[in-house]
Structure 1
Amino acid sequence: MRSVSVGEVARRDVITGSPTETAVEIAYKMREHGIGSVVIVNEKDEPIGIITERDLVIKVVSQGKNPDEVIARDIMSQPVITVEEDMEVNEAVKLMVDKGIRRLPIVDDNGKLIGIVTMQDILQVEPYLVATIEEEMKKFQEELEELEEVSEIIEGVCDLCETYSEELRFVDGVWVCPECYEDILGREIEDRELEE
Structure 2
Amino acid sequence: MSIGRICIREVDVINPDESARVAASRMHSRKVGTLIVVDEAMVPVGLLTDRDLTTRVLAEGRDGNATPVRKVMSPAPSTVEENTSIEDALAIMRSGTFRRLPVVDGEGQLVGIVSLDDILELLAEEFSEIGWLLRQEEPGSLAER
TM-score band, normalised by shorter chain? 0.7 to 0.9
Residues in 1 aligned to 2:76 and 2:117: alpha-carbon distance in whole angstroms? 22
2:65 counterpart of 1:68: yes
Residues in 2 aligned to 1:91 and 1:126: alpha-carbon distance in whole angstroms? 15
Find the counterpart in structure 2 of residue 147 from structure 1.
none
Find the counterpart in structure 1 of residue 91 from structure 2.
94
Alignment of 1:147-186 (within 5 A): none
Find the counterpart in structure 2 of residue 83 from structure 1.
80
CA RMSD between the two structures: 1.1
Find the counterpart in structure 1 of residue 140 from structure 2.
none
Residues in 2 aligned to 1:54 and 1:127: alpha-carbon distance in whole angstroms? 28
Q: TM-score, normalised by structure 2?
A: 0.83
Higher RCO structure (Cα 8 Å, ≥6 apart): 2
Find the counterpart in structure 2 of residue 54 from structure 1.
51
Find the counterpart in structure 1 of residue 141 from structure 2.
none
Residues in 2 aligned to 1:64 and 1:29: alpha-carbon distance in whole angstroms? 20
Find the counterpart in structure 2 of residue 105 from structure 1.
102
How far 1:27 sits from its partner (Å)?
0.8
Task: Give the partner amino acid of 1:101.
Answer: F
Q: TM-score, normalised by structure 1?
A: 0.62
SS in 2 for 1:19: coil
Structure 1 portions without partners, runs of 5+:
129-196
Find the counterpart in structure 2 of residue 26 from structure 1.
23
Listed one character per residue, the Cα deviations across residues 49-69 of structure 1 (whole Å, up to 9, x for unaligned) are 010111111101111111111
SS in 2 for 1:14: coil
1:35 to 28, 32, 36: 32
Residues in 2 aligned to 1:124 and 1:83: alpha-carbon distance in whole angstroms? 19
Structure 2 portions without partners, runs of 5+:
126-145
Residues in 2 aligned to 1:97 and 1:34: alpha-carbon distance in whole angstroms? 26
Residues in 1 aligned to 2:60 and 2:115: alpha-carbon distance in whole angstroms? 28
Larger CA Rg, structure 1 vs 2: 2
Q: Percent identity over the alignment? A: 34
